[in-house]
């Protein structure tokens, strides 16, 4: 027996009249396509997660939908992570078209951010994520919440969440298992203990998820480059906020490390 295949459909309403959704649902029923989830993803757009055991019906669906004057089909494709998040939360993640790996969030969207990072953390194998943002915006808390949501253990290699943490060794069981390794690059940059950096390099080679706060500092103070990152996440208090990548000189730099 063939397995179900999932597809993502997004369409824009040209005429917002009663019955359009019923017409589309009836059409899908005749083509043996089921609607798993439906939600609005913009003011005049709806997104649907579909599934079928007969993928050859998808081109037929696309052809018929194109004849409908009441809607315009925007997307009909295998669902991407951004599609699944949009269906759950009713809006798309802000994704930079110029920087393909960069996703932007504001503090009021922490729920979406945690959901997004949790899905990334569920992936197996090597994954390097950079999280940019000013102090006290919620970076560390979001990373920990995403780890919990992904059913992964988290391990701070450097952090100032509760107290300043700089790891110079790992237990054997901390090198295996479902860990999310968290690095505060500003703290690591401040400490020149070679044992700490040896641990960071060892972890970077592990087939696991690594999340680096302040990736700008990580790139500046290590041999790693922006090309090593799979995703860059930017978190702001508001869309207008500018993320400063250097410690404020007026405070001598030290206060920067103690905000979070």
3-state SS, residue 225: coil
**Best-predicted range by mean pLDDT (3-17, 149-163, 223-237):** 223-237
* Reported pTM: 0.84
CA distance 62 to 82: 21
Residue 170 confidence (pLDDT) above 60: yes
pLDDT confidence of 17, banded at 50, 70, 90?
A: confident
CA distance 67 to 213: 49
Provide the pLDDT for residue 210. 97
172 or 246: whose pLDDT is higher? 172
Give the Cβ contact number of residue 118 at 10 Å.
19
d(CA 77, CA 83): 10
Question: Across all residues in the chain, what is the average pLDDT?
Answer: 89
237 φ, ψ (degrees, to nearest 5): -70, -30
Residue 110 has pLDDT above 60, yes or no: yes
Q: Are strands 179-184 and 153-159 parallel, antiparallel or unpaired?
A: parallel
The C-alpha angle 245, 246, 251, rounded to 5 degrees, equals 140
User: Could you tell me the two tokens for 212?
Assistant: 């680096």
Express each pLDDT in 118-141 by its tens digit. 999 999 899 999 999 999 999 999
Q: Is the pLDDT of residue 38 over 50?
A: yes
- Domains in the chain, CATH or no CATH each: 5-85 (3.30.70.260), 93-258 (3.40.50)
- Cβ atoms of 71 and 20 closer than 8 Å: yes
**Average pLDDT in the 215-223 region?**
94
**Alpha-carbon Rg for the chain in angstroms:** 22
What would the two tokens of residue 38 be? 């439906």
> What is the rounded distance in angstroms from the CA atom of residue 15 to the CA atom of residue 138?
41
């Amino acid at each position: 027996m063939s397995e179900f295949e999932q597809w993502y459909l997004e369409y824009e309403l040209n005429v917002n009249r009663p019955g359009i959704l019923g017409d589309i649902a009836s059409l899908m029923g005749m083509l043996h396509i089921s609607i798993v989830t439906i939600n609005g993803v913009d003011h005049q757009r709806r997104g649907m997660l579909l599934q079928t055991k007969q993928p050859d019906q998808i081109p037929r669906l696309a052809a018929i939908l194109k004849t409908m004057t009441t809607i315009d089909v925007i997307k009909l494709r295998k669902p991407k992570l951004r599609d699944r998040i949009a269906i759950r939360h009713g809006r798309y993640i802000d994704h930079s078209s110029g920087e393909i790996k960069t996703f932007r969030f504001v503090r009021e969207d922490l729920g979406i951010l945690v959901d997004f990072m949790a899905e990334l953390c569920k992936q197996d194998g090597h994954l390097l994520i950079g999280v940019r943002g000013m102090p006290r915006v919620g970076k560390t808390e979001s990373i920990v919440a995403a780890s919990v949501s992904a059913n992964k253990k988290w391990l701070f290699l450097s952090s100032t969440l509760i107290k300043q943490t700089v790891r110079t060794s790992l237990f054997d069981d901390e090198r295996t298992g479902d860990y999310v390794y968290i690095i505060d690059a500003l703290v690591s940059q401040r400490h020149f203990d070679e044992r700490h950096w040896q641990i960071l390099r060892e972890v970077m080679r592990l087939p696991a998820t690594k999340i680096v706060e302040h990736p700008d500092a990580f790139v500046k103070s290590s041999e790693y480059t922006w090309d090593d990152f799979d995703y860059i996440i930017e978190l702001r208090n508001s869309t207008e906020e500018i993320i400063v990548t250097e410690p404020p000189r007026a405070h001598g730099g030290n206060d920067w490390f103690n905000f979070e």
